[in-house]
């Protein structure tokens, strides 16, 4: 039973199902003792599963279940990073290479588009075909829910969106930096189907909640929920996205709507795409919508798992409803999902890489807000890898938000300093135009390193309190973050980093296209090391990056 139904008293369909099971149980009924016995038996191998799972995996299952049972109310706990499920254990199907160019996948005919020979896409289509044949014998809740999600005789739209590897630019995207991004092999798939409300298949608990079959319903299933401490299903009336006057609800209301239940908050990444389309493109959804999301992009690793979910979902919804949206606009709309519905203050580079990137190439983009310069070929003697440090990453985390606020505060101060100098008439004639430009500086990265160092570095404080800044300067000019009056923010480092970062990325891009040589590779590596070093000056980020290095290379790294 999902928590929302438990608290709302919507128990009838669950109790009816329980009665049909005709349980015969003569064991203990003390929940704690029963759970402990199951954990112990599972770890020792006495409680056998139908799946052929190794002893080490059984022990992991026992530990992780115990970890989740201890979860304190209102506290977000992440599944330990060592808990991974391999393809063999999840039964991921291996595809026949001869199917790569076929318009047919067992159980389906591809009516429009192509799977482009992508193994993961063909595997996802195969999994859909398997779901269509699932009966009540299947024990995993998410698979049972997915099997009952679609009308298998009707069209289903599938979209794929990869994660992204941040090669250069990273945390400076919201300051307008040039960034170099590479799509990952891992990707998210979203399957979407629209149906008239009267023909929409409803789960029993959803049917009990929705008394009218004329109301459009949204039903979502997310695969992999057991590994991420979230509920596998979500459903809502699409009318919940509408005010009484027929207008879409505000983003703030949507944020609080999805924040009520931590185990259901993940649905904001998926359902939020619908609200953004309603608000930004005036789209009205009169049909019910079913969505299945399946992703292999690692979560919490800084490779844009959330952006891939948003882009795949919005692309599939747009295609299912006949909406023609350019990849760039899809990315910008998905950024609004993450900024305003999810509440994570990310820049736009993640969504742009997922929507516009190409395999084995770097996407060069100036984040002002999202101007693509083109694709950069990766030389044959250069390879990029992402290494998992084991430290969990979250764009919605307080560290990321504090650094972003610090950068926007620094930008506001620079404009103030430049305006004061212009108004006082102190600027020399030849530099007055540049000072006037600085007074209206829209992005930090439009300020060159030498001008920053010469004119403004000495005037910026290392830190400032929220109360002090608001009292003197007012607003910091960022709509997706809020200054805490009682908080203290680093200013100098978050302001300086993107200005120098932008210059280093420009140098990296130029060097990448230079004549192949040992000096070229050394230079590329040096620029990457410099970025790693200067980003640790950003106060809150320093401790995080030091933990990552200690995990990867040991504590002696800082003495190298």
Active-site positions read 350
Residue 242 per-residue DSSP state: B
Please state, in angstroms and rounded to a whole number, the distance separating the CA atoms of residues 177 and 170. Answer: 9
CA nearest neighbour of 123 among 165, 89, 87, 150: 87
Residue 367 near residue 173, CB atoms below 8 Å = yes
Q: What are phi and psi of 289, to 5 degrees?
A: -130, 130
The tokens describing 474, both together, are 């007012």
Residue 375 near residue 316, CB atoms below 8 Å = no
Residue 72 per-residue DSSP state: P
The tokens describing 449, both together, are 């390193």
CA nearest neighbour of 121 among 101, 91, 138, 137: 101
Q: DSSP 3-state assignment of 26?
A: coil
Please state, in angstroms and rounded to a whole number, the distance separating the CA atoms of residues 224 and 368. Answer: 35
Please state, in angstroms and rounded to a whole number, the distance separating the CA atoms of residues 195 and 219. Answer: 11
The residue to which tokens 């929507």 are assigned? 355
The burial of 242, by beta-carbon neighbours within 10 Å (0-12 exposed, 13-18 middle, 19 or more buried), is given as: middle
**CA diameter of the chain:** 92
The tokens describing 235, both together, are 């459903």
Please state, in angstroms and rounded to a whole number, the distance separating the CA atoms of residues 269 and 233. Answer: 13
Residue 438 near residue 410, CB atoms below 8 Å = no
Please state, in angstroms and rounded to a whole number, the distance separating the CA atoms of residues 175 and 169. Answer: 10
HSE-CB at 341 with a 13 A cutoff on CA atoms is 28
Give the burial string for 280-310 (b: 16+ CB within 10 Å, else e).
eeebebebbbbbbbbbbbbbbbbbbbbbbbb
The contacts of residue 254 (CB under 8 Å, 6+ apart) are 241, 268, 272, 275, 340, 341
Hey, how many other C-beta atoms are within 10 angstroms of the C-beta on 77?
12
């Amino acid at each position: 039973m999902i928590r929302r139904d438990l608290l709302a008293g919507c128990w009838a369909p669950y109790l009816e199902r329980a009665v049909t099971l005709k349980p015969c149980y003569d064991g203990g009924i003390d929940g704690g003792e029963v759970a402990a016995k199951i954990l112990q038996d599972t770890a020792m191998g006495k409680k056998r599963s139908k799946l052929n799972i190794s002893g080490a995996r059984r022990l992991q299952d026992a530990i992780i279940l115990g970890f989740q049972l201890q979860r304190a109310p209102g506290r977000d706990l992440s599944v330990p990073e060592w808990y991974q499920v391999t393809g063999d254990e999840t039964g991921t199907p291996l595809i026949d290479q001869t199917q790569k160019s076929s318009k047919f996948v067992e159980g389906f005919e591809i009516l429009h588009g192509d799977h482009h020979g992508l193994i993961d896409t063909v595997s996802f289509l195969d999994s859909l075909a398997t779901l269509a044949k699932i009966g009540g014998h299947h024990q995993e809740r998410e698979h049972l829910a997915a099997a009952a999600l679609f009308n298998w005789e009707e069209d289903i739209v599938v979209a794929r969106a990869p994660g992204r590897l941040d090669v250069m630019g990273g945390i400076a995207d919201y300051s307008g930096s040039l960034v170099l991004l590479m799509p990952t092999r891992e990707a998210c798939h979203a399957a979407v189907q629209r149906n008239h409300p009267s023909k929409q298949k409803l789960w029993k608990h959803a049917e009990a909640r929705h008394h009218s079959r004329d109301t459009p319903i949204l039903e979502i299933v997310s695969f992999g929920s057991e590994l991420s401490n979230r509920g596998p299903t979500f459903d809502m009336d699409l009318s919940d996205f509408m005010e009484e006057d027929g207008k879409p609800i505000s983003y703030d209301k949507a944020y609080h709507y999805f924040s009520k239940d931590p185990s259901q908050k993940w649905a904001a990444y998926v359902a939020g795409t619908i609200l953004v389309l309603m608000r930004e493109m005036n789209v009205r959804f009169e049909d019910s919508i079913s969505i299945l999301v399946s992703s292999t992009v690692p979560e919490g690793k800084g490779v844009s798992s959330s952006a891939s979910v948003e882009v795949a979902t919005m692309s599939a919804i747009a295609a299912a409803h006949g909406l023609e949206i350019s990849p760039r606009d899809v990315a910008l709309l998905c950024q609004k999902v993450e900024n305003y519905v999810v509440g994570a203050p990310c820049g736009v580079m993640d969504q742009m890489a997922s929507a516009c990137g190409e395999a084995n190439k770097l996407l060069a983009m100036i984040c002002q807000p999202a101007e693509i310069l083109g694709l950069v070929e990766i030389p044959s003697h250069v390879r990029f890898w992402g290494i998992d440090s084991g430290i969990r990453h979250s764009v919605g985390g307080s560290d990321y938000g504090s650094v972003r606020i610090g950068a926007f505060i620094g930008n506001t101060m620079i404009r103030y300093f430049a305006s004061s100098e212009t108004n006082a008439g102190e600027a020399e004639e030849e530099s007055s135009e540049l000072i006037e430009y600085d007074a209206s500086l829209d992005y930090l990265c439009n300020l060159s390193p030498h001008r920053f160092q010469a004119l403004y570095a000495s005037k910026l404080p290392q830190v400032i309190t929220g109360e002090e800044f608001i009292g003197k300067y007012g607003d910091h000019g960022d709509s997706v973050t809020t200054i805490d009056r009682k908080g203290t923010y680093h200013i100098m480092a978050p302001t300086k980093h993107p200005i120098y970062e932008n210059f280093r990325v420009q140098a990296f891009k130029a060097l990448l296209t230079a004549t192949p040589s040992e000096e070229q590779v050394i230079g590329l590596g040096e620029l990457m090391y410099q970025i790693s070093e200067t980003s640790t000056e950003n106060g809150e980020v320093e401790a995080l990056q030091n933990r990552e290095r200690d995990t990867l290379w040991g504590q002696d790294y800082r003495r190298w």
